[in-house]
Amino acid sequence: MGVREIQVAGHNHSLIIHELDDVYDSATGRPLTGSWLWDSALVLSHWISTHLNFQGKAVLELGAGAGLPGLTAALLGASRVLLTDVQQLLPGLLKNVEANGFKERVEVKELVWGSDESMSEIRMSSMFDVVLMSDLFFDPEEMTRLGRTLKRICGEGTEVWAASELRPWTSECLNQLMAQGFQVVELVTQLSVQEGVEDSNAFAIFQIIPPLADRYEFSTTTCDYVLEENLNLQ
């Protein structure tokens, strides 16, 4: 599909993202759309670059796809970033890691949600300060596995931030997580990714608090509840 240069909001830096159109699901033969850069990844990258401090932190991205949010964290000073997705998408992630010169601090690993084997390997490798997720709330049936994964990889104090386009099934996915004991805090809504387009889709930023993290409270000092209505994203 090509190469995109994404400007990181609030910083005089950009990231190179390769989008691949030749990655297919071996079982169905259908293209794996995770190899493309979706708007939720742009929204999350913009938000974290203007609201979070990554200096010296360990960051995990779930369902990384093309890896933009995790690479943004690396650019902004994270000491270690782990990008995870299904096996077929790992070569594309590695390509983007190399394109941005992050091989020293950014790793790529397979992670199948709900899989004890892959979760144990990742959980044992280190504790994570921040978990990032973009556009993962699309299949309510997957939320049990996603919730199980989050419970395993999050330690006390781990912050989980997600961006999602607001679709008819988004609330059902979030309800499934809440049924597993997660708290969901919606921070920002009505974000437009195409300036001047009346029918631009709505997005939201969420903080997802795992049950084991109930002892730390959400702090309004880490973020602003107000963002520009229109984000001029590339």
Give DSSP secondary structure letters for 137-185.
TT-GGGHHHHHHHHHHH--TT-EEEEEEE--TTHHHHHHHHHHTT-EEE
Contact call for residues 192 and 231 (beta carbons, < 8 A): yes
Q: So what CATH class is 2-209?
A: alpha beta
Among all chains, which residue has been given the structure tokens 């989980």? 160
Closest among 203, 185, 159 to 44, alpha carbons compared: 203
Average pLDDT over residues 34-41: 84
Average pLDDT over residues 10-36: 73
State the chain's mean pLDDT as an integer.
83
- Is the predicted pLDDT of residue 31 greater than 70, yes or no? no
Q: What percent of the chain has pLDDT over 70?
A: 77
| Contacts for 173 with CB less than 8 Å, ≥ 6 apart | 137, 138, 139, 140, 142, 143
Q: How many CB atoms lie within 10 A of CB 75?
A: 21
The larger pLDDT score, comparing residue 129 to residue 221, is at 129
Q: Write the pLDDT tens digit of every residue in 78-113.
A: 999 999 999 989 999 999 999 999 999 999 999 999
Average pLDDT over residues 30-38: 71
Residue 169's pLDDT is: 94
The whole model's pTM is what?
0.85
Count the alpha carbons within 13 Å of 97 in the hemisphere toward its beta carbon.
22
Average pLDDT over residues 173-191: 90
Long-range CB pairs of 26-33, under 8 A, 24+ apart, other chains included: 26/88, 32/86, 32/88, 32/89
DSSP per-residue codes, 38-59: -HHHHHHHHHHHHH---TT-EE
Among all chains, which residue has been given the structure tokens 């650019």? 75
Residue 234's pLDDT is: 53
Rounded to whole angstroms, the Cα distance separating 22 from 44 reads 25
Pairing of strands 14-19, 106-110: unpaired
Rounded to whole angstroms, the Cα distance separating 177 from 82 reads 23
* Residue 222 pLDDT level (bands cut at 50, 70, 90): very low
The counts of H helices and E strands in the chain are 6, 9
